[in-house]
Chain A
Amino acid sequence: MGESGDIDEIWRRAEGGAVAILDCREEIPCDPCEAVCARGAIVVGKNVCDLPRYDPGLCNGCGRCVAICPGMAIYLLDRSSRDGGARLTLPYEMKEEIKAGDEVWALDEDGSPLGKGKVVKTAKMNKRDHSLLVTVDVPEEWALKVRGVRIRVMSIGEPLEVRGCQREEDHLLCRCEEISRSQAREYAAMGFNSLRALRRFSRVGLGYCQGRFCQAMLVDEFSTAAFRDREGVGVFKVRPPVRPVKLGRLGGENG
């Protein structure tokens, strides 16, 4: 773990109570963890893109950094319980409610389930916070592998849901021709056998952006509505130029 603290020391200290583990790997301009740590255990320093330097010896396991990290890259490890398990406190930002007593799936960093864990308590650092801190008991061998929890019923091996937004709110899919998602669905259900056929009929993807913006969403929507796989739906033929260019410019005009 290098600058994020010696993992052996963290492991040892966790026997006495909660201690933070930083799994921050992205050198991005981000330093709320430094500002929020009252003990000065986390230092990003002058270059805001540096990875945080962390001294586990100063950490009191308060969990403020867990709640504030936008990348959800910090969690608490507590090995003080006598039954030999590990007690983790993880940030949780999904909509499905989690409460103490719930059985949840413990997920690894890829989002794949390791197995089940039991929620001991949930807390928010302050009311306006969007991060819920979920404290969960898991077997010790997962202590350094778990990166999140999931409440939804799911069997191990089930593929994770790919589509993010499942709400039925309507919105524009093709912004240029002003065709909404519900309209695109209606068109798709009319029996066209390819996205190109749908385009000829409805004008989706024929506006100024030429499908640059909407194509991925259209493929997704059409394949769902028409019960076809994405390959069967096909894509628009890509023709140069890849970005809008004035015809006059191709003809030698300047500007």
Chain B
Amino acid sequence: MDLRVGRHAVLGEMEGGKLVTIYVDGVPLKAREGEPIAAALYAHGIRTTRYSPRLGEPRGPFCMIGRCTECAMTVDGEPNVRTCMTAVRDGMRVDTPGRPGE
């Protein structure tokens, strides 16, 4: 199921970027180029973006405007990238930090 907004009440028809592949924890997923990484994950039903360092609890996108840092993931090896603010590029590697047991 695709949860993306096709037609927006105010902005009209939403033209999605071209379909590209990103690798989330090694699993290839289709994403629209230019959309926020968090949006691509959300569209695939992925709600957990990281595990909190102290309690090890799953966390997901919260503020969606780049302030709360709950959506920070490791992107192409770079830690603490706010995925709600970072656009999808083809071949991106996105990893979930702090997974229990690692």
Contacts and interface: CB of A to CB of B under 8 A. Distances in A.
Interface of A: 29, 48-49, 175-178, 207-209, 212-213, 243-244
A245 to B, nearest CB: 12
A208 to B, nearest CB: 4
A207 B54 contact: no
Nearest to A209: B69
Nearest to B62: A175
Interface in B39-67: 52-55, 57, 59, 62-63, 66-67
A29 B53 CA distance: 41
B54 A177 contact: yes
Given A175-B59, A175-B62, A213-B69, 15 more contacts: A29-B9, A29-B10, A48-B10, A49-B10, A175-B68, A175-B69, A176-B69, A178-B52, A178-B55, A208-B72, A208-B80, A209-B68, A209-B69, A212-B67, A213-B63
Contacts of A209: 67-69
Interface string B69-92: 110100000001010000000000
Contacts of A178: 52-55, 57
Contacts of B59: 175
Contacts of A244: 66, 82
A218 to B, nearest CB: 14
A178 B51 CA distance: 11
A48 B67 contact: no
B54 to A, nearest CB: 5
Contacts of A212: 67
A175 B70 contact: yes
B100 to A, nearest CB: 15
A207 B59 CA distance: 15
